[in-house]
Structure 1
Amino acid sequence: MTGPELTEIACGLRNSGQPFLLVVRAVGLVKGTEWIEAIPEELMAKVNEKGKIVKWAPQQEVLKHQAIRGFLTHSGWNSTVESVREGVPRICLPCIWDQFVDARLVSDVWRVGLHLEHRIERNEIECLIRSLFSGNEGEAIRESMRLLKEKVGRSVKENGSAYRSLESLIDHISSF
Structure 2
Amino acid sequence: MQRNSTNSQSLRFSLFCISVIGYEIFSLTSLFLPSLIGIFFAYLIILSDEIERTLGVKDKRWYLTVAFLFFAEQLNGFEFCSVLLAWLLFYYLFDDWLKTNIKWRKLLITIYVFSGYILTLVMSNIALYILNQPRLELSYEYLLYAAIESLIALVIFRGRVL
User: Same fold per TM (> 0.5)?
Assistant: no
Q: Relative contact order (C-alpha < 8 Å, sep 6+): which is higher?
A: 2
| TM-score normalized by the length of structure 2 | 0.31
The structure whose residues are more often strand, as a share, is: 1
The structure whose residues are more often helix, as a share, is: 2
| TM-score normalized by the length of structure 1 | 0.30
**Which protein shows a greater Rg?**
1
